Structure 1
Amino acid sequence: MTKEPIIELKNIDVTFHNKGQTVPAVKDVSLTVDRGDIYGVVGYSGAGKSTLVRVINRLQRPTAGTVTVNGQDILALRSGELRAARKKIGMIFQHFNLMNARTIADNVDYPLKGAGLSRQERREKVAKLLDLVGLSEKAKDYPAQLSGGQKQRVAIARALANDPEILISDEATSALDPKTTTQILELLKRLNRELGLTVVLITHEMEAVKEICNKVAVMENGEIIERGDLVTIFSEPKQPLTRDFINTATQIDQALDKIYKQKLGLDDHHRLVQLKYVGASTDAPLITELFKRYQVVSNILYGNVEILQDTPLGNLVVVMAGEPDQLEQAWQYCRDAGIEITFLTPKDPEVA
């Protein structure tokens, strides 16, 4: 079934002028987000990802390009129309932006002023939103009494006050510890599922993308250098930056650093190999088969299986030992089974 686009950015340029200098922040970027997606836009600081996403609700007007959200040309809207359109686009940020002098309930209620609801209807809606994010008992507290994760939950409840169809998360987990980050990401995933909320996740952490996104775009120097569904990006990354992000998220870099410090005794009969495989390949008794068929012994130094969008992705780092011709046959068997092989050395990895 073809999904309906809810956000369409076409040929977006954003150029800043500062002290006589022209700084291109976003360069000819096109991006389509389908309704119901959790779309991750990942890149290091300065890549242009936050600037790009602020174009969606016209917090940043592009220098060139078109912006269509929910079928509306956002760039053509007058001020009143733009205010109405923005109510359907919630945003959460790294630093929560709560009003410290107001209670938690009042923070969530604030966007409802002018929404045409009675006082009782607003109270009921605030209670429902706080229940949705698991903070019903904190309604009368103040932001200073909450943890960082609880503050972000309040910010999420406030962002949902006007029943948006899109939620933009701009580095919203960057200030949180790993456990709290996981909880917030799980909440976003649940809101996506239960409310049909489309989420655009801006982050410099591929780990966050890995946890909840179904699609991802990688940005560098104001451009999207790679995009696709999550499983394809993780299993077949094309760009060095994408591979760097993925290796960090899967902790393969840390594992290789430790492995390279060992005395492995590599020679023509012993090769250090990384095996990557997707889907059904992970179910095969690979190590056993290589020994039975080719008398190749595999010493597993690192192993990891990720489940992304219900699809297993496996990573093994092994020392394979055997006669050179038997090793060649074993590697060909792996390739025929759809397993990617990378021959590793401490200095110069070489992709087979």
Structure 2
Amino acid sequence: MISLQDISVTFKADKNKAIHAVQHVSLEVDKGDVYGIVGYSGAGKSTLVRTINLLQRPTEGKVIVSGKDMMALNDKDLRESRKKIGMIFQHFNLMRSRTIHDNVAFPLKNSSLSKQAIHDKVTDLLSLVGLSEKANAYPSQLSGGQKQRVAIARALANDPEVLLCDEATSALDPKTTSSILALLKELNKRLNLTIVIITHEMQVVKEICNKVAVMEDGGVIEYGSILDIFTKPQNQLTKDFIDTATHVEHGIETVITHPTILNLNEHDVLTKLSFVGGSTGEPLIAKLANTFNVQGNILFGNVEILQDTPVGTLLLVLSGTPEAIAKAVRYLQDNGVTVEIITEEIIAEKKNKGGDEE
């Protein structure tokens, strides 16, 4: 559907200095994907996504959308191709002097549709985004969430195959953000709409995306399915982003640094267990006592559903003989559980970190 091949974007700051906003990025977005591109400000994510519809022409590389080489198109064909790529922004970009109906109708003003056909289409689009009663209102009379719904309806006016969302929820409160993401998810399924979302919030990615790329300093440092990225992150920046969305590491740090909760005996082993899929619902911890005579004391637990797959985390103290604990750990690993032994050095590091933050 979308193929970005070795994309670089360089800006000339002055005669002697160049800014490399995007550096040799390649990404594949399949039809029907909700693809998240996450990174902090200045990472290059907005610049990268604007190359998809050539609002930003790459300095190097190729942009293929629906089988078309976008950079090889003449002006007329490029305008036609851009109609199939809708875009919404952080600050909505509505025309204040026009009604909501006229804002949504604006992309159709030079189309071959009759006035009645345009009116009917705008009516259908406003119904689709839940704003039928606001057709004659003006942007100033709408909430932020309603304005973004208008922007989405306007972006759908030309029946696009792709919708680009540039920090589309950053100006919204959490409840409104959830409602907009739910709407985008519904549109993705109902219209088979391919969506690319730029965000600095991993929570947004977790709620709606099936794939994600993490950007830093103009490059993609990690990409993959949501399940793979959340359960097997390879990069520290990715891990930091994930923690903002799950708060698992913060919860574990709170337990470890609390003076009365963590009270280990001589042979106790503190472990972090990560479950994915079917193993999340298995009574594995109960079997440790029955099979290996190892007691498991749960200090922290978290379960989430990512792309219809349960993902769980437990902070667990294992008590027993060293030999029995070693067998119990192997048993857990053989049953698809990732086991991380939290050593005294790690505990001391987290305690020092907690002290520094205070």
Q: TM-score, normalised by structure 1?
A: 0.94
After TM superposition, list the pairs within 5 Å mapping 1:1-352 onto structure 2.
6-19=1-14, 20-263=16-259, 264-344=262-342, 345-348=346-349
Take 1:299 and 1:180, find their aligned partners in 2: how far apart are those partners? Answer: 39
Take 2:266 and 2:282, find their aligned partners in 1: how far apart are those partners? Answer: 27
Take 1:169 and 1:210, find their aligned partners in 2: how far apart are those partners? Answer: 15
Shift of 1:267: 4.6
* Gap runs ≥5 in structure 1: 1-5
Shift of 1:272: 2.5
CA deviation vs aligned residue, 1:11-70 (integer Å, no higher than 9, x gap): 111111112311111111111111111111111111111111100000101110011111
More divergent stretch after superposition (29-38 vs 225-234): 225-234
SS in 2 for 1:346: helix
Amino-acid identity (%) = 58
SS in 1 for 2:347: coil
Shift of 1:160: 0.3
Aligned partners of 1:272 and 1:317 also within 8 Å: yes
Take 1:94 and 1:326, find their aligned partners in 2: how far apart are those partners? Answer: 56
* Gap runs ≥5 in structure 2: 351-358
Matched letter for residue 314 of structure 1: G
Take 2:234 and 2:349, find their aligned partners in 1: how far apart are those partners? Answer: 18
Matched letter for residue 243 of structure 2: N
* CA RMSD after TM alignment: 1.4
Take 1:140 and 1:22, find their aligned partners in 2: how far apart are those partners? Answer: 48
Take 2:307 and 2:340, find their aligned partners in 1: how far apart are those partners? Answer: 25
Matched letter for residue 282 of structure 1: T
Matched letter for residue 101 of structure 1: S
Q: Which residue of 2 aligns with 1:3?
A: none
Take 1:97 and 1:268, find their aligned partners in 2: how far apart are those partners? Answer: 63
Matched letter for residue 6 of structure 2: N
Matched letter for residue 332 of structure 2: C
Shift of 1:348: 4.2
CA deviation vs aligned residue, 1:85-109 (integer Å, no higher than 9, x gap): 1100000111111111111111111
Aligned partners of 1:217 and 1:227 also within 8 Å: yes
Q: TM-score, normalised by structure 2?
A: 0.93
Matched letter for residue 333 of structure 1: Y
Take 1:256 and 1:39, find their aligned partners in 2: how far apart are those partners? Answer: 30
Aligned partners of 1:268 and 1:324 also within 8 Å: no
Q: Which residue of 1 aligns with 2:353?
A: none
Distance 1:347 1:137, change over 3 A: farther
Matched letter for residue 175 of structure 2: K
